[in-house]
Amino acid sequence: MKTVIDQNGLGRGGLNFDCNVRRESTNPEDLFLGHIGAMDTFAKGLKIAAKIKEEGLMYNMVSSRYQGYQNTELGQKVSNGTLTLAECEEFIHKNGEPQKVSGSQEKYEVVLNSYINE
């Protein structure tokens, strides 16, 4: 749902909203309840996504994480797809191996889960 908000809606696409027969849920009431439960989940996801966007914390975290792509010539070339393998090699010869920096995946997951589990 965050992607839907970030894209300002569905555009020409849609969502794959589908409730299949599973386990012993084969009668019409179970199928109906399955659709209701799925739609409730979409609605909750939309509310969470709206709060994430409104507060901006995760957007700031991601922007900070990838700032090198905006702040350096090399990063800009990576972003726009114009960097060649030869340029990468030249960069490494001039600058040495890049520093290993944590992607902080666990931190991002904890922050996202804090919104989901509120």
Q: What is the pTM assigned to this prediction?
A: 0.73
- Average of pLDDT values for 76-92? 94
What is the SS3 assignment for 47-90? Answer: HHHHHHHHHCHHHHHHHHHCCHHHHCHHHHHHHHCCCCHHHHHH
Here the tokens at position 33 are: 């309840």
Residues in the chain: 118
In the chain, where are the structural domains located?
A: 1-55, 56-118
What is the band of 19 on the pLDDT scale with cuts at 50, 70, 90?
A: low
**What whole-number distance in Å separates Cα of residue 29 and Cα of residue 101?**
52
- Give the C-alpha separation, 118 to 115, whole Å: 6
pLDDT in tens, 98-108: 889 898 999 99
Binned at pLDDT 50, 70 and 90, residue 16 comes out as confident
- Each residue's pLDDT tens digit, 42-74: 999 999 999 999 999 999 999 999 888 889 999
Residue 34: the pLDDT is 83
